[in-house]
Structure 1
Amino acid sequence: MNKSELKSFLDEKASFYNNPNFIETDPIQIPHIFSVKEDIEISGFLVATIAWGNRKSIINNGNKLMELMGNSPYDFVMNFSEKDSKQFLNFVHRTFNSDDLNYFIKSLQNIYKNHGGLEKVFDQYSESNSMQPAIHYFKKTFFELPHLPRTQKHVSDPLKNSAAKRINMFLRWMVRNDNAGVDFGIWKSISPSKLSCPLDVHSGNVARKLKLLKRKQNDGKALVVLDESLREMDSDDPVKYDFALFGLGAFERF
Protein backbone atom coordinates (compact mmCIF):
# COMPACT_ATOMS: atom_id res chain seq x y z
CA MET A 1 0.00 0.00 0.00
CA ASN A 2 1.15 3.53 -0.74
CA LYS A 3 0.64 6.29 1.85
CA SER A 4 -2.75 7.34 0.48
CA GLU A 5 -4.04 3.76 0.43
CA LEU A 6 -2.71 3.11 3.93
CA LYS A 7 -4.44 6.21 5.29
CA SER A 8 -7.74 5.19 3.66
CA PHE A 9 -7.42 1.66 5.04
CA LEU A 10 -6.68 2.86 8.60
CA ASP A 11 -9.39 5.56 8.46
CA GLU A 12 -11.90 2.86 7.53
CA LYS A 13 -10.75 0.51 10.31
CA ALA A 14 -10.71 3.32 12.90
CA SER A 15 -14.33 4.17 12.04
CA PHE A 16 -15.28 0.50 12.15
CA TYR A 17 -13.99 -0.05 15.70
CA ASN A 18 -14.63 3.40 17.18
CA ASN A 19 -18.26 2.88 18.19
CA PRO A 20 -20.19 1.89 21.35
CA ASN A 21 -19.83 -1.84 20.58
CA PHE A 22 -16.09 -1.45 21.35
CA ILE A 23 -16.95 -0.61 24.97
CA GLU A 24 -18.42 -4.07 25.66
CA THR A 25 -15.03 -5.82 25.65
CA ASP A 26 -12.78 -2.95 26.77
CA PRO A 27 -11.76 -1.63 30.22
CA ILE A 28 -13.16 1.78 29.18
CA GLN A 29 -16.56 0.33 30.17
CA ILE A 30 -15.71 0.99 33.84
CA PRO A 31 -15.57 4.82 33.66
CA HIS A 32 -18.64 4.66 31.37
CA ILE A 33 -20.61 3.66 34.48
CA PHE A 34 -20.30 7.27 35.70
CA SER A 35 -21.55 10.67 34.57
CA VAL A 36 -19.71 13.09 36.91
CA LYS A 37 -16.37 14.34 35.51
CA GLU A 38 -14.31 13.52 38.60
CA ASP A 39 -15.83 10.04 38.91
CA ILE A 40 -15.01 9.35 35.25
CA GLU A 41 -11.40 10.52 35.48
CA ILE A 42 -10.60 8.82 38.81
CA SER A 43 -12.17 5.50 37.78
CA GLY A 44 -10.50 5.81 34.37
CA PHE A 45 -7.09 6.47 35.88
CA LEU A 46 -7.32 3.54 38.30
CA VAL A 47 -8.61 1.11 35.68
CA ALA A 48 -5.98 2.22 33.16
CA THR A 49 -3.36 1.62 35.85
CA ILE A 50 -4.32 -2.07 36.10
CA ALA A 51 -4.89 -2.46 32.34
CA TRP A 52 -2.35 -5.11 31.56
CA GLY A 53 -2.90 -8.82 31.10
CA ASN A 54 -6.20 -10.53 30.36
CA ARG A 55 -8.90 -7.98 29.53
CA LYS A 56 -11.64 -9.99 31.24
CA SER A 57 -9.55 -9.99 34.44
CA ILE A 58 -8.91 -6.23 34.10
CA ILE A 59 -12.64 -5.55 33.79
CA ASN A 60 -13.54 -7.86 36.69
CA ASN A 61 -10.96 -6.24 38.96
CA GLY A 62 -11.98 -2.78 37.77
CA ASN A 63 -15.57 -3.48 38.82
CA LYS A 64 -14.36 -4.91 42.12
CA LEU A 65 -12.33 -1.77 42.73
CA MET A 66 -15.34 0.47 42.09
CA GLU A 67 -17.40 -1.63 44.54
CA LEU A 68 -14.70 -1.19 47.21
CA MET A 69 -15.06 2.57 46.68
CA GLY A 70 -18.82 2.43 47.08
CA ASN A 71 -19.25 3.14 43.35
CA SER A 72 -18.51 6.80 44.18
CA PRO A 73 -14.78 7.13 43.44
CA TYR A 74 -14.48 10.92 43.79
CA ASP A 75 -16.38 11.02 47.08
CA PHE A 76 -14.36 8.06 48.35
CA VAL A 77 -11.04 9.69 47.41
CA MET A 78 -11.90 13.04 48.95
CA ASN A 79 -13.06 11.50 52.25
CA PHE A 80 -10.45 8.76 52.45
CA SER A 81 -8.60 8.24 55.73
CA GLU A 82 -6.26 5.55 57.04
CA LYS A 83 -9.11 3.58 58.60
CA ASP A 84 -10.59 3.04 55.12
CA SER A 85 -7.49 1.26 53.87
CA LYS A 86 -8.44 -2.03 55.56
CA GLN A 87 -11.09 -2.73 52.92
CA PHE A 88 -8.34 -2.94 50.28
CA LEU A 89 -6.48 -5.75 52.07
CA ASN A 90 -7.55 -8.49 49.65
CA PHE A 91 -7.32 -6.45 46.44
CA VAL A 92 -4.66 -7.53 43.96
CA HIS A 93 -4.26 -7.35 40.19
CA ARG A 94 -1.07 -9.06 39.07
CA THR A 95 1.68 -7.04 40.83
CA PHE A 96 -0.62 -4.16 41.84
CA ASN A 97 -1.60 -4.86 45.45
CA SER A 98 -3.37 -3.27 48.39
CA ASP A 99 -0.30 -1.24 49.42
CA ASP A 100 -0.12 0.27 45.94
CA LEU A 101 -3.85 0.97 45.87
CA ASN A 102 -3.73 2.59 49.30
CA TYR A 103 -1.04 5.01 48.11
CA PHE A 104 -2.85 5.72 44.83
CA ILE A 105 -5.96 6.83 46.73
CA LYS A 106 -3.90 9.06 49.06
CA SER A 107 -2.08 10.59 46.11
CA LEU A 108 -5.30 11.22 44.17
CA GLN A 109 -6.70 12.95 47.26
CA ASN A 110 -3.59 15.15 47.37
CA ILE A 111 -3.92 15.96 43.65
CA TYR A 112 -7.56 17.01 43.98
CA LYS A 113 -7.13 18.90 47.24
CA ASN A 114 -3.81 20.61 46.53
CA HIS A 115 -3.16 20.58 42.76
CA GLY A 116 -6.53 21.30 41.16
CA GLY A 117 -7.24 17.78 39.93
CA LEU A 118 -5.87 15.36 37.34
CA GLU A 119 -6.64 17.49 34.28
CA LYS A 120 -4.85 20.53 35.67
CA VAL A 121 -1.70 18.56 36.56
CA PHE A 122 -1.42 17.06 33.07
CA ASP A 123 -2.33 20.31 31.31
CA GLN A 124 0.17 22.52 33.11
CA TYR A 125 3.11 20.43 31.92
CA SER A 126 1.90 19.63 28.40
CA GLU A 127 3.95 20.90 25.45
CA SER A 128 2.79 22.17 22.09
CA ASN A 129 3.07 18.79 20.35
CA SER A 130 3.40 16.16 23.10
CA MET A 131 2.00 14.92 26.39
CA GLN A 132 5.05 12.79 27.16
CA PRO A 133 6.91 15.44 29.25
CA ALA A 134 3.61 16.03 31.09
CA ILE A 135 3.47 12.35 32.04
CA HIS A 136 7.01 12.63 33.44
CA TYR A 137 6.10 15.64 35.61
CA PHE A 138 2.77 14.07 36.57
CA LYS A 139 4.69 11.12 37.99
CA LYS A 140 6.83 13.49 40.09
CA THR A 141 3.70 15.13 41.49
CA PHE A 142 1.98 11.80 42.01
CA PHE A 143 4.82 10.48 44.16
CA GLU A 144 5.50 13.61 46.22
CA LEU A 145 4.02 11.97 49.34
CA PRO A 146 5.89 9.30 51.35
CA HIS A 147 5.49 5.96 49.57
CA LEU A 148 6.94 2.48 49.13
CA PRO A 149 9.53 2.39 46.32
CA ARG A 150 7.72 -0.60 44.75
CA THR A 151 4.65 1.53 43.99
CA GLN A 152 6.54 3.78 41.55
CA LYS A 153 6.66 1.03 38.92
CA HIS A 154 2.91 1.40 38.38
CA VAL A 155 3.29 4.86 36.80
CA SER A 156 5.50 4.89 33.70
CA ASP A 157 7.98 7.61 32.74
CA PRO A 158 8.38 8.38 28.99
CA LEU A 159 11.60 10.31 29.69
CA LYS A 160 13.07 6.98 30.83
CA ASN A 161 12.20 5.40 27.44
CA SER A 162 8.85 3.91 28.47
CA ALA A 163 6.01 3.83 25.93
CA ALA A 164 3.71 4.61 28.91
CA LYS A 165 0.93 2.66 27.25
CA ARG A 166 -1.54 2.79 30.13
CA ILE A 167 -1.28 6.54 30.79
CA ASN A 168 -1.43 7.33 27.07
CA MET A 169 -4.59 5.20 26.90
CA PHE A 170 -6.06 7.08 29.88
CA LEU A 171 -5.26 10.40 28.19
CA ARG A 172 -6.96 9.20 24.99
CA TRP A 173 -10.07 8.37 27.01
CA MET A 174 -10.16 11.80 28.69
CA VAL A 175 -9.13 14.06 25.78
CA ARG A 176 -10.48 12.68 22.48
CA ASN A 177 -13.95 13.96 21.63
CA ASP A 178 -15.43 12.80 18.35
CA ASN A 179 -19.00 12.02 19.45
CA ALA A 180 -18.53 8.34 18.58
CA GLY A 181 -19.45 7.38 22.14
CA VAL A 182 -16.23 5.61 23.20
CA ASP A 183 -13.75 8.26 24.38
CA PHE A 184 -15.10 10.88 26.78
CA GLY A 185 -13.56 14.19 25.63
CA ILE A 186 -14.11 15.77 29.05
CA TRP A 187 -10.68 17.41 29.25
CA LYS A 188 -11.16 20.51 27.12
CA SER A 189 -7.84 22.16 28.04
CA ILE A 190 -5.73 19.59 26.13
CA SER A 191 -5.77 19.20 22.35
CA PRO A 192 -6.11 15.68 20.87
CA SER A 193 -3.23 16.63 18.54
CA LYS A 194 -0.82 16.25 21.50
CA LEU A 195 -1.78 12.66 22.28
CA SER A 196 0.36 9.58 21.71
CA CYS A 197 -0.81 6.11 20.71
CA PRO A 198 -1.12 3.58 23.55
CA LEU A 199 1.59 1.32 22.15
CA ASP A 200 1.08 -2.33 23.13
CA VAL A 201 1.62 -5.78 21.65
CA HIS A 202 -1.36 -5.50 19.28
CA SER A 203 -0.82 -1.96 18.00
CA GLY A 204 2.95 -2.50 17.81
CA ASN A 205 2.73 -5.70 15.77
CA VAL A 206 0.21 -4.23 13.33
CA ALA A 207 2.24 -1.02 12.99
CA ARG A 208 5.29 -3.08 12.03
CA LYS A 209 3.36 -5.12 9.47
CA LEU A 210 2.11 -1.88 7.91
CA LYS A 211 5.67 -0.45 7.96
CA LEU A 212 4.69 2.40 10.26
CA LEU A 213 7.32 1.16 12.70
CA LYS A 214 10.60 -0.74 12.37
CA ARG A 215 11.89 -0.80 15.93
CA LYS A 216 11.29 -4.19 17.58
CA GLN A 217 10.77 -2.97 21.15
CA ASN A 218 7.55 -1.29 22.26
CA ASP A 219 9.40 1.50 24.08
CA GLY A 220 9.60 5.28 24.15
CA LYS A 221 11.79 5.47 21.04
CA ALA A 222 9.31 3.36 19.09
CA LEU A 223 6.47 5.58 20.28
CA VAL A 224 8.16 8.71 18.88
CA VAL A 225 8.41 7.06 15.45
CA LEU A 226 4.82 5.79 15.53
CA ASP A 227 3.55 9.20 16.63
CA GLU A 228 5.27 10.82 13.64
CA SER A 229 3.70 8.30 11.26
CA LEU A 230 0.20 8.77 12.68
CA ARG A 231 0.47 12.56 12.73
CA GLU A 232 1.34 12.52 9.03
CA MET A 233 -2.05 10.90 8.42
CA ASP A 234 -4.04 13.12 10.80
CA SER A 235 -2.23 15.89 12.67
CA ASP A 236 -5.39 16.96 14.54
CA ASP A 237 -6.40 13.53 15.84
CA PRO A 238 -3.54 11.05 15.38
CA VAL A 239 -4.64 8.70 18.15
CA LYS A 240 -7.92 7.77 16.45
CA TYR A 241 -5.71 5.24 14.67
CA ASP A 242 -5.28 3.39 17.96
CA PHE A 243 -8.73 1.92 17.25
CA ALA A 244 -7.52 0.67 13.86
CA LEU A 245 -4.18 -0.73 15.04
CA PHE A 246 -5.58 -2.34 18.17
CA GLY A 247 -8.69 -3.66 16.42
CA LEU A 248 -6.69 -5.21 13.59
CA GLY A 249 -4.40 -6.93 16.09
CA ALA A 250 -6.81 -7.97 18.82
CA PHE A 251 -9.90 -8.86 16.78
CA GLU A 252 -8.63 -9.68 13.28
CA ARG A 253 -5.23 -11.23 14.10
CA PHE A 254 -3.93 -9.07 11.24
Structure 2
Amino acid sequence: MNSSELKSFLDEKVVQYNTLDFIDSDPVQIPHLFSQKEDIEIAGFLSATIAWGNRKMIIKNSHKMMDLMGNAPYDFVMSHSENDLERMETFVHRTFNGQDFASFIRSLKNIYVNHNGLEFVFAKNQELKTMQNSISEFKKTFFEIPHQIRTQKHISDPQNNSAAKRINMYLRWMVRQDNKGVDLGIWKSISPASLSCPLDVHSGNVARKLGLLTRKQNDGKALAELDMKLREFDANDPVKYDFALFGLGVFEKF
Protein backbone atom coordinates (compact mmCIF):
# COMPACT_ATOMS: atom_id res chain seq x y z
CA MET A 1 0.00 0.00 0.00
CA ASN A 2 1.17 3.53 -0.71
CA SER A 3 0.75 6.24 1.90
CA SER A 4 -2.68 7.34 0.65
CA GLU A 5 -4.00 3.77 0.56
CA LEU A 6 -2.62 3.07 4.02
CA LYS A 7 -4.30 6.17 5.45
CA SER A 8 -7.63 5.12 3.89
CA PHE A 9 -7.25 1.59 5.28
CA LEU A 10 -6.48 2.86 8.79
CA ASP A 11 -9.29 5.43 8.64
CA GLU A 12 -11.73 2.60 7.85
CA LYS A 13 -10.45 0.59 10.80
CA VAL A 14 -10.83 3.59 13.13
CA VAL A 15 -14.49 3.84 12.11
CA GLN A 16 -14.90 0.08 12.60
CA TYR A 17 -13.51 -0.06 16.13
CA ASN A 18 -14.19 3.39 17.59
CA THR A 19 -17.75 2.43 18.58
CA LEU A 20 -19.67 1.84 21.79
CA ASP A 21 -19.14 -1.93 21.36
CA PHE A 22 -15.44 -1.34 22.05
CA ILE A 23 -16.21 -0.33 25.64
CA ASP A 24 -17.55 -3.76 26.66
CA SER A 25 -14.15 -5.45 26.39
CA ASP A 26 -11.89 -2.55 27.37
CA PRO A 27 -10.87 -0.98 30.71
CA VAL A 28 -12.20 2.36 29.43
CA GLN A 29 -15.51 1.04 30.75
CA ILE A 30 -14.37 1.85 34.32
CA PRO A 31 -14.35 5.67 34.04
CA HIS A 32 -17.61 5.38 32.09
CA LEU A 33 -19.24 4.20 35.35
CA PHE A 34 -19.12 7.76 36.71
CA SER A 35 -20.51 11.18 35.84
CA GLN A 36 -18.53 13.58 38.09
CA LYS A 37 -15.31 14.84 36.49
CA GLU A 38 -13.07 13.94 39.42
CA ASP A 39 -14.58 10.45 39.73
CA ILE A 40 -14.05 9.86 36.01
CA GLU A 41 -10.42 10.97 35.99
CA ILE A 42 -9.46 9.08 39.17
CA ALA A 43 -11.24 5.89 38.07
CA GLY A 44 -9.57 6.20 34.67
CA PHE A 45 -6.14 6.83 36.14
CA LEU A 46 -6.28 3.83 38.50
CA SER A 47 -7.66 1.42 35.89
CA ALA A 48 -5.11 2.60 33.31
CA THR A 49 -2.34 2.08 35.88
CA ILE A 50 -3.07 -1.67 36.07
CA ALA A 51 -3.83 -2.06 32.35
CA TRP A 52 -1.30 -4.72 31.49
CA GLY A 53 -1.83 -8.44 31.10
CA ASN A 54 -5.13 -10.25 30.55
CA ARG A 55 -7.86 -7.73 29.68
CA LYS A 56 -10.61 -9.57 31.56
CA MET A 57 -8.43 -9.61 34.67
CA ILE A 58 -7.63 -5.90 34.23
CA ILE A 59 -11.34 -5.08 34.13
CA LYS A 60 -12.16 -7.40 37.04
CA ASN A 61 -9.44 -5.90 39.24
CA SER A 62 -10.35 -2.35 38.21
CA HIS A 63 -13.90 -2.99 39.41
CA LYS A 64 -12.40 -4.34 42.64
CA MET A 65 -10.47 -1.08 43.07
CA MET A 66 -13.68 0.89 42.73
CA ASP A 67 -15.43 -1.40 45.23
CA LEU A 68 -12.65 -0.87 47.77
CA MET A 69 -13.25 2.87 47.47
CA GLY A 70 -16.99 2.49 47.97
CA ASN A 71 -17.55 3.27 44.27
CA ALA A 72 -16.93 6.93 45.11
CA PRO A 73 -13.27 7.38 44.13
CA TYR A 74 -12.97 11.16 44.53
CA ASP A 75 -14.74 11.20 47.90
CA PHE A 76 -12.56 8.34 49.09
CA VAL A 77 -9.34 10.01 47.92
CA MET A 78 -10.23 13.27 49.65
CA SER A 79 -11.70 11.96 52.91
CA HIS A 80 -9.97 8.63 53.61
CA SER A 81 -8.22 7.89 56.90
CA GLU A 82 -5.16 5.68 57.30
CA ASN A 83 -7.51 3.04 58.75
CA ASP A 84 -9.53 3.15 55.51
CA LEU A 85 -6.37 2.37 53.56
CA GLU A 86 -5.90 -0.89 55.48
CA ARG A 87 -8.62 -2.49 53.37
CA MET A 88 -6.38 -1.96 50.32
CA GLU A 89 -3.93 -4.53 51.70
CA THR A 90 -5.87 -7.37 50.06
CA PHE A 91 -5.58 -5.91 46.58
CA VAL A 92 -3.16 -7.31 44.03
CA HIS A 93 -2.85 -7.08 40.25
CA ARG A 94 0.35 -8.68 39.02
CA THR A 95 3.11 -6.58 40.67
CA PHE A 96 0.75 -3.78 41.77
CA ASN A 97 -0.21 -4.60 45.36
CA GLY A 98 -2.19 -3.14 48.25
CA GLN A 99 0.71 -1.00 49.46
CA ASP A 100 1.05 0.50 45.99
CA PHE A 101 -2.70 1.15 45.91
CA ALA A 102 -2.63 2.93 49.27
CA SER A 103 0.36 4.99 48.13
CA PHE A 104 -1.49 6.01 44.96
CA ILE A 105 -4.48 7.15 47.04
CA ARG A 106 -2.22 9.37 49.17
CA SER A 107 -0.52 10.81 46.10
CA LEU A 108 -3.84 11.50 44.41
CA LYS A 109 -5.03 13.40 47.47
CA ASN A 110 -1.86 15.50 47.36
CA ILE A 111 -2.51 16.20 43.65
CA TYR A 112 -6.03 17.47 44.37
CA VAL A 113 -5.23 19.35 47.59
CA ASN A 114 -1.98 21.01 46.52
CA HIS A 115 -1.89 20.94 42.69
CA ASN A 116 -5.44 21.65 41.47
CA GLY A 117 -6.10 18.10 40.30
CA LEU A 118 -4.94 15.67 37.65
CA GLU A 119 -5.86 17.73 34.59
CA PHE A 120 -3.96 20.78 35.83
CA VAL A 121 -0.79 18.79 36.55
CA PHE A 122 -0.75 17.17 33.10
CA ALA A 123 -1.71 20.37 31.28
CA LYS A 124 0.81 22.75 32.82
CA ASN A 125 3.87 21.04 31.31
CA GLN A 126 2.49 20.17 27.88
CA GLU A 127 4.55 21.07 24.85
CA LEU A 128 3.68 21.48 21.19
CA LYS A 129 2.72 18.10 19.69
CA THR A 130 3.93 16.03 22.65
CA MET A 131 2.92 15.13 26.19
CA GLN A 132 6.07 13.17 26.98
CA ASN A 133 7.76 15.88 29.06
CA SER A 134 4.45 16.47 30.82
CA ILE A 135 4.22 12.78 31.77
CA SER A 136 7.74 12.90 33.19
CA GLU A 137 6.95 16.02 35.23
CA PHE A 138 3.69 14.45 36.39
CA LYS A 139 5.61 11.50 37.80
CA LYS A 140 7.84 13.85 39.81
CA THR A 141 4.80 15.61 41.26
CA PHE A 142 3.00 12.34 41.96
CA PHE A 143 5.89 10.98 44.01
CA GLU A 144 6.87 14.19 45.80
CA ILE A 145 5.32 12.91 49.07
CA PRO A 146 6.79 9.99 51.09
CA HIS A 147 6.28 6.65 49.33
CA GLN A 148 7.89 3.26 48.85
CA ILE A 149 10.51 3.25 46.10
CA ARG A 150 8.94 0.10 44.61
CA THR A 151 5.74 2.03 43.82
CA GLN A 152 7.56 4.34 41.39
CA LYS A 153 7.77 1.60 38.76
CA HIS A 154 4.00 1.78 38.23
CA ILE A 155 4.25 5.15 36.47
CA SER A 156 6.51 5.19 33.43
CA ASP A 157 8.91 8.00 32.62
CA PRO A 158 9.46 8.98 28.95
CA GLN A 159 12.75 10.62 30.00
CA ASN A 160 13.97 7.06 30.60
CA ASN A 161 13.02 6.09 27.02
CA SER A 162 9.73 4.50 28.09
CA ALA A 163 6.80 4.47 25.65
CA ALA A 164 4.56 5.10 28.70
CA LYS A 165 1.77 3.10 27.11
CA ARG A 166 -0.67 3.19 30.01
CA ILE A 167 -0.40 6.95 30.66
CA ASN A 168 -0.72 7.71 26.96
CA MET A 169 -3.84 5.52 26.88
CA TYR A 170 -5.21 7.37 29.91
CA LEU A 171 -4.59 10.72 28.23
CA ARG A 172 -6.45 9.49 25.15
CA TRP A 173 -9.45 8.63 27.34
CA MET A 174 -9.46 12.02 29.08
CA VAL A 175 -8.65 14.32 26.14
CA ARG A 176 -10.17 12.93 22.92
CA GLN A 177 -13.76 14.01 22.20
CA ASP A 178 -15.23 12.81 18.91
CA ASN A 179 -18.83 12.02 19.94
CA LYS A 180 -18.31 8.30 19.28
CA GLY A 181 -18.78 7.54 22.97
CA VAL A 182 -15.55 5.64 23.74
CA ASP A 183 -13.09 8.36 24.80
CA LEU A 184 -14.54 10.65 27.45
CA GLY A 185 -13.00 13.97 26.37
CA ILE A 186 -13.48 15.74 29.70
CA TRP A 187 -10.12 17.57 29.68
CA LYS A 188 -10.33 20.71 27.58
CA SER A 189 -6.94 22.24 28.45
CA ILE A 190 -4.93 19.67 26.46
CA SER A 191 -5.03 19.43 22.67
CA PRO A 192 -5.65 16.01 21.02
CA ALA A 193 -2.88 17.03 18.62
CA SER A 194 -0.38 16.58 21.47
CA LEU A 195 -1.35 12.98 22.26
CA SER A 196 0.71 9.88 21.50
CA CYS A 197 -0.42 6.40 20.54
CA PRO A 198 -0.41 3.90 23.42
CA LEU A 199 2.38 1.68 22.08
CA ASP A 200 2.28 -1.94 23.22
CA VAL A 201 3.03 -5.36 21.74
CA HIS A 202 -0.20 -5.38 19.69
CA SER A 203 -0.05 -1.88 18.21
CA GLY A 204 3.72 -2.19 17.76
CA ASN A 205 3.52 -5.44 15.80
CA VAL A 206 0.76 -4.12 13.55
CA ALA A 207 2.63 -0.84 12.98
CA ARG A 208 5.72 -2.78 11.87
CA LYS A 209 3.75 -4.99 9.48
CA LEU A 210 2.21 -1.86 7.93
CA GLY A 211 5.59 -0.14 7.60
CA LEU A 212 4.78 2.57 10.14
CA LEU A 213 7.54 1.50 12.50
CA THR A 214 11.03 0.14 11.92
CA ARG A 215 12.43 0.12 15.45
CA LYS A 216 12.15 -3.32 17.04
CA GLN A 217 11.72 -2.29 20.69
CA ASN A 218 8.48 -0.76 21.96
CA ASP A 219 10.24 2.12 23.69
CA GLY A 220 10.25 5.91 23.66
CA LYS A 221 12.24 6.13 20.43
CA ALA A 222 9.76 3.81 18.72
CA LEU A 223 6.90 5.96 19.99
CA ALA A 224 8.49 9.08 18.51
CA GLU A 225 8.86 7.29 15.17
CA LEU A 226 5.23 6.11 15.21
CA ASP A 227 4.01 9.54 16.32
CA MET A 228 5.67 11.17 13.33
CA LYS A 229 3.98 8.77 10.90
CA LEU A 230 0.52 9.06 12.46
CA ARG A 231 0.73 12.86 12.50
CA GLU A 232 1.22 12.74 8.73
CA PHE A 233 -2.20 11.05 8.48
CA ASP A 234 -3.99 13.36 10.94
CA ALA A 235 -2.03 16.09 12.69
CA ASN A 236 -5.04 17.20 14.76
CA ASP A 237 -6.00 13.77 16.09
CA PRO A 238 -3.15 11.29 15.53
CA VAL A 239 -4.02 9.02 18.45
CA LYS A 240 -7.35 8.00 16.88
CA TYR A 241 -5.29 5.44 14.97
CA ASP A 242 -4.82 3.56 18.23
CA PHE A 243 -8.27 2.09 17.53
CA ALA A 244 -7.07 0.81 14.15
CA LEU A 245 -3.74 -0.62 15.32
CA PHE A 246 -5.22 -2.16 18.48
CA GLY A 247 -8.26 -3.55 16.68
CA LEU A 248 -6.15 -5.09 13.93
CA GLY A 249 -3.82 -6.66 16.49
CA VAL A 250 -6.22 -7.87 19.16
CA PHE A 251 -9.44 -8.58 17.29
CA GLU A 252 -8.13 -9.52 13.83
CA LYS A 253 -4.75 -11.05 14.81
CA PHE A 254 -3.35 -9.08 11.88
Fold-level match, TM-score > 0.5? yes
Instruction: Supply the distance in 2 between the matched residues of 1:71 and 1:148 (Cα, whole angstroms).
Output: 26
The reply to whether residue 124 of structure 1 matches residue 121 of structure 2 is no
- Return the offset for 1:63: 0.4
- SS of the aligned residue for 1:38 comes to helix
The reply to whether residue 96 of structure 1 matches residue 101 of structure 2 is no
> Which residue identity does 2:167 align to in structure 1?
I
**Residue matched to 2:46:** 46
**Residue matched to 1:209:** 209
> Which residue identity does 1:125 align to in structure 2?
N
**Residue matched to 1:111:** 111
Identity of aligned residues (%): 71
Instruction: Supply the distance in 2 between the matched residues of 1:28 and 1:196 (Cα, whole angstroms).
Output: 17
Instruction: Supply the distance in 2 between the matched residues of 1:116 and 1:85 (Cα, whole angstroms).
Output: 23
- Return the offset for 1:46: 0.2
- Return the offset for 1:89: 1.2
Number of matched pairs: 254
Instruction: Supply the distance in 1 between the matched residues of 2:15 and 2:159 (Cα, whole angstroms).
Output: 32
- Return the offset for 1:207: 0.1
- SS of the aligned residue for 1:89 comes to helix
- Return the offset for 1:85: 1.1
- Return the offset for 1:128: 1.3
**Residue matched to 2:169:** 169
Deviates more, 1:80-89 or 1:231-240: 80-89
**Residue matched to 1:23:** 23
- SS of the aligned residue for 2:92 comes to coil
Unaligned runs of 5+ in 2: none
Unaligned runs of 5+ in 1: none
Instruction: Supply the distance in 2 between the matched residues of 1:253 and 1:68 (Cα, whole angstroms).
Output: 35
> Which residue identity does 1:209 align to in structure 2?
K
**Residue matched to 1:238:** 238
> Which residue identity does 1:6 align to in structure 2?
L
Instruction: Supply the distance in 1 between the matched residues of 2:120 and 2:133 (Cα, whole angstroms).
Output: 14
Per-residue CA deviations over 1:131-181 (Å, capped at 9, x if unaligned) read 000000000000000111100000000011000000000000000000000
Instruction: Supply the distance in 2 between the matched residues of 1:156 and 1:6 (Cα, whole angstroms).
Output: 31
- Return the offset for 1:83: 1.1
> Which residue identity does 1:45 align to in structure 2?
F
> Which residue identity does 2:177 align to in structure 1?
N
CA RMSD of aligned residues (A): 0.4
- Return the offset for 1:35: 0.7
Q: Which runs of 4+ in 1 moved over 6 A?
A: none
**Residue matched to 1:34:** 34
Instruction: Supply the distance in 2 between the matched residues of 1:240 and 1:89 (Cα, whole angstroms).
Output: 37
> Which residue identity does 1:27 align to in structure 2?
P
Instruction: Supply the distance in 1 between the matched residues of 2:234 and 2:86 (Cα, whole angstroms).
Output: 47
- Return the offset for 1:81: 1.8
